[in-house]
């Protein structure tokens, strides 16, 4: 019997420089996508969903996973129009279910989506990767954003490193560094430092317990609707997986996973298992974490990170870095076998390669508007994972 994972590729819509016909050439059969043109908190109508779905299917692919249906900041803070935005979310879930799209990714990271300090970190072979340097981020917090109380989050040694980095830059370099860093904060470009300060101010008194309470309220409201629509909500881990900018983080560790699943006992309360995000903490055992929550995983990101032992990491090649990719893929296949034998309709897990290196011809092109999502680096990652999967399946006797 076939036990292969569903191979998908992320697509950012009609303006993505990697068109759907190229996605199909990678060997992927599914697309991971979102309606990026709809503002956070507004309803996704059946008409808009079907329009996007038609573009994907016309190219010979399936819209396998929504990534993401964004959670409005007022839901995370439990303020303002929180109730209205939750009702809109329910309507969007119902509409996605009607359109036959059932895996819905979201995150509950305050203000941030993901953060890196260098989007073009040069590797020894000449390719480029995404990189997070703790001292560089400290320089941003302490000397550019000037966040009140930020110095409490760093050692004197790290503050000295941050100051040296900041003072090494010209005014133009400071400007470019700042723009590249904050453009990824709330998931859209054109954000100013004042915008960031205003967003952080909304969380000034919000504790970890408050954020967990607001997540539980959100899930209690939307999970019953997701169940009725035949959907599963899968939460993406924090990236990096620890507190940052003084903001609480609540989905970074194995204990966080247990708490999330216990919040709302529903098959619609699931996990987007991003191996790369979880691997940002060296105390996370990625394979064991997957095994502990395998029956509630609805979507998988397969990537890895490499650390330098000083709080810094970059995106490694997909089969390298700190993630035991062999052990993880084997565990995923074993979970699929278990589900298939149990007669579960959702036995096949969609996965996608993530945050590929910029390499070969892509190095000569204008910078990708979606950092980490050039074509060739992800194609390399997909090919490596497919080869690994094929070898494991054969060794298991299938």
Is residue 354 part of the annotated active site? The answer reads yes
Is residue 274 part of the annotated active site? The answer reads yes
List the catalytic residue out of 131, 354, 362, 368.
Answer: 354
User: Is the distance from CB of 242 to CB of 252 less than 8 angstroms?
Assistant: yes
d(CA 333, CA 336): 5
3-state secondary structure of 380: helix
Provide the sign of the torsion angle of the four alpha carbons 310, 313, 318, 323, taken in this order: positive
d(CA 379, CA 85): 37
Name the token pair of 94: 């119902």
Query: How many other C-beta atoms can be found within 10 angstroms of the C-beta atom of residue 170?
Result: 8
List the catalytic residue out of 52, 72, 102, 301.
Answer: 301
Angle formed by the axes of helices 208-229 and 82-98, nearest 10°: 30
Is residue 102 part of the annotated active site? The answer reads no
List the catalytic residue out of 72, 318, 355, 357.
Answer: 355
Is residue 301 part of the annotated active site? The answer reads yes
Nearest of 335, 355, 184, 342 to residue 271 by alpha carbon: 335
d(CA 275, CA 184): 20
Helix (H) or strand (E) holding 22: helix 20-25
Name the token pair of 309: 């032992």
Region of residue 389 (phi > 0: left; psi between -120 and 50: alpha; otherwise: beta): alpha
List the catalytic residue out of 99, 231, 272, 274.
Answer: 274
DSSP conformation letters of 265-315 = --TTEEEEEEHHHHTTSTT--HHHHHHHHGGGEEEEEE--EEE-SSS-EEE
List the catalytic residue out of 236, 272, 318, 362.
Answer: 236
C-alpha angle with apex 293: 86 to 355, nearest 5 degrees? 75
DSSP conformation letters of 207-275 = -HHHHHHHHHHHHHHHHHHHHHHT-EEEEPPPSSSS-BTTB---SSSHHHHHHHHHHS--TTEEEEEEH
Is residue 82 part of the annotated active site? The answer reads no
Query: How many other C-beta atoms can be found within 10 angstroms of the C-beta atom of residue 47?
Result: 10
- For tokens 């899968």, name the residue: 234
Residues recognised as catalytic = 236, 274, 301, 354-355, 373
């Amino acid at each position: 019997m076939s036990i292969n994972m569903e191979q998908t590729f992320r697509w950012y819509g009609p303006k993505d420089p990697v068109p759907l016909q190229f996605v199909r050439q990678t060997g992927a059969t599914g697309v991971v996508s979102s309606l990026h043109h709809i503002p956070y908190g507004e309803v996704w109508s059946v008409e808009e969903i079907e329009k996007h779905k038609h573009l994907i299917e016309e190219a010979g692919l399936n819209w396998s996973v929504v990534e993401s249906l964004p959670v409005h900041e007022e839901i995370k803070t439990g303020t303002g129009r929180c109730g209205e935005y939750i009702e809109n979310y329910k309507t969007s879930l119902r509409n996605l279910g009607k359109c036959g799209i059932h895996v819905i990714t979201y995150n509950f990271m305050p203000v941030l989506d993901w953060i890196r300090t260098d989007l073009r970190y040069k590797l020894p072979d000449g390719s480029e990767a995404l990189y997070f340097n703790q001292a560089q981020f400290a320089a941003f917090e302490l000397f550019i954003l000037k966040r009140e109380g930020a110095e409490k989050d760093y050692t004197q040694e790290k503050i000295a490193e941050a100051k040296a980095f900041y003072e090494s830059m010209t005014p133009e370099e400071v400007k470019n560094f700042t723009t590249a860093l904050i453009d990824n904060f709330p998931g859209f470009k054109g954000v100013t430092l004042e915008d960031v300060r205003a967003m952080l101010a909304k969380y000034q008194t919000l504790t970890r317990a408050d954020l967990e309470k607001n997540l539980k309220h959100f899930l209690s409201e939307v999970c019953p609707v997701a169940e009725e629509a035949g959907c599963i909500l899968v939460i993406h881990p924090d990236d990096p997986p620890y507190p940052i900018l003084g903001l609480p983080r609540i989905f970074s560790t194995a204990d966080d996973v247990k708490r999330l699943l216990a919040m709302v006992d529903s098959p619609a309360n699931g996990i987007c298992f991003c191996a790369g995000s979880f691997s940002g903490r060296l105390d996370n055992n990625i394979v064991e974490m997957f095994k502990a929550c395998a029956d509630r995983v609805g979507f998988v990101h397969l990537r890895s990170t490499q650390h330098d032992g000083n709080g810094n990491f970059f995106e490694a090649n997909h089969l390298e870095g700190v993630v035991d990719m062999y052990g993880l893929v084997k565990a995923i296949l074993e979970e699929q076998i278990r589900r298939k034998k149990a007669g579960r309709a959702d036995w096949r897990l969609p996965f996608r390669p993530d945050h590929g290196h910029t390499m070969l011809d892509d190095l000569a092109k204008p910078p990708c508007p979606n950092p980490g999502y050039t074509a060739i680096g992800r194609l390399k990652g997909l090919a490596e994972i497919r080869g690994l999967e094929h070898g494991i399946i054969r060794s298991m006797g299938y």
